Amino acid sequence: MRGRKRKETISRIYREIVFHGYTASGITGISVKNATRAIAGISVYKYILTVFVAVAMSLLVVYAAVGGSYQLSIFPISVFVWTMLISLVTAMQLSYGASGSGNIRNFLYTVPLTEEEALSLASSAMLRTIDLPIFSSALVIFLSITVLGIYGMLSGIIALLTGFSIFLIAAGSAARMFRRLRIHGGKGLLVRLIASLPVIFFLAVPTLLFRFEIPISAAEMTYVPVLSLSGIAHGNGVSIAVSSIFALLLLAGGKRIFSRYALQLISPDELAGSRSGKLRMKIRTPVRSLIITDLRQAFRSPRLASLLFVPFVLVAVVAFYFTSFSGRLSVPFPVLYAEDILPVAFVSSYIAYLLYMTELGGLAYFKLLSISRYLNLTAKMIVSVLFYAVSALLLTLIFVMTGKTVYYIAAVYTLLLPLLVSVIFTSVFFQNASRDGRLGMSNPSSYALYTAVNLLIFAVPAGSFLAGLLVYRSILIAGVSIASASLVEGLLMLFLLSVSSD
Indicate the SS3 state at residue 327: coil
Average pLDDT over residues 4-21: 70
Looking at the structure, do residues 500 and 373 belong to the same domain, yes or no?
yes
In a domain, 41, yes or no: yes
Looking at the structure, do residues 426 and 484 belong to the same domain, yes or no?
yes
Looking at the structure, do residues 224 and 262 belong to the same domain, yes or no?
yes
Looking at the structure, do residues 212 and 109 belong to the same domain, yes or no?
yes
**Alpha-carbon span 399 to 396, nearest angstrom:** 5
Looking at the structure, do residues 308 and 366 belong to the same domain, yes or no?
yes
The residue from 273, 299, 316 where one domain ends is 273
Looking at the structure, do residues 98 and 243 belong to the same domain, yes or no?
yes
Q: pLDDT tens across 373-424, in order?
A: 788 888 889 888 988 999 999 999 988 888 887 888 999 999 999 999 999 9
Asked if residues 346 and 454 have their Cβ atoms less than 8 Å apart, the reply is yes
In a domain, 71, yes or no: yes
Residue partners of 140: CB distance under 8 A and separation at least 6: 54, 57, 58, 61
Asked if residues 192 and 305 have their Cβ atoms less than 8 Å apart, the reply is yes
Looking at the structure, do residues 131 and 229 belong to the same domain, yes or no?
yes
Looking at the structure, do residues 177 and 326 belong to the same domain, yes or no?
no
**pLDDT at res. 35:** 58
Question: What CA–CA distances, in Å, run from 470 to 336, 390, 477?
Answer: 14, 28, 10
**Alpha-carbon span 357 to 430, nearest angstrom:** 8
**Alpha-carbon span 349 to 344, nearest angstrom:** 9
Instruction: Quote the pTM value.
Output: 0.61
**pLDDT at res. 178:** 62
Per the model's pLDDT, the better-predicted residue between 324 and 493 turns out to be 493
**pLDDT at res. 27:** 41
**pLDDT at res. 257:** 85
Looking at the structure, do residues 229 and 317 belong to the same domain, yes or no?
no
Q: pLDDT tens across 173-202, in order?
A: 766 766 665 544 455 555 555 655 655 555
Q: How many domains does the chain have?
A: 2
Residue partners of 463: CB distance under 8 A and separation at least 6: none
Percentage helix, strand, coil for the chain under 3-state DSSP, each rounded to 5: 80, 0, 20
Per the model's pLDDT, the better-predicted residue between 462 and 472 turns out to be 462
Least confident span in 47-56, 81-90, 159-168 = 81-90
Looking at the structure, do residues 239 and 296 belong to the same domain, yes or no?
no
Per the model's pLDDT, the better-predicted residue between 346 and 290 turns out to be 346
**pLDDT at res. 155:** 92
Average pLDDT over residues 421-441: 73
Instruction: Say which amino acid occupies 220.
Output: E
Instruction: Judge whether residue 171 has pLDDT over 90.
Output: no
Q: How far is CA 171 from the centre of its chain?
A: 15
Q: pLDDT tens across 151-160, in order?
A: 999 999 999 9
Average pLDDT score, the chain: 75
Instruction: Say which amino acid occupies 488.
Output: V
Q: pLDDT tens across 280-323, in order?
A: 545 556 667 777 777 776 666 655 666 677 787 778 777 777 76
In a domain, 319, yes or no: yes
**pLDDT at res. 360:** 63
**pLDDT at res. 256:** 87
Could you list the residue range(s) of the whole structural domain that residue 291 is in? 283-502
**Alpha-carbon span 211 to 336, nearest angstrom:** 12
In a domain, 64, yes or no: yes
Residues above pLDDT 70, as percent of the chain: 64
Per the model's pLDDT, the better-predicted residue between 105 and 76 turns out to be 76
Looking at the structure, do residues 249 and 383 belong to the same domain, yes or no?
no
The residue from 254, 273, 292 where one domain ends is 273
**Alpha-carbon span 70 to 48, nearest angstrom:** 31
The residue from 242, 273, 304 where one domain ends is 273
Looking at the structure, do residues 313 and 448 belong to the same domain, yes or no?
yes
Residue 489 — very low, low, confident or very high, per pLDDT cuts 50/70/90? very high
In a domain, 278, yes or no: no
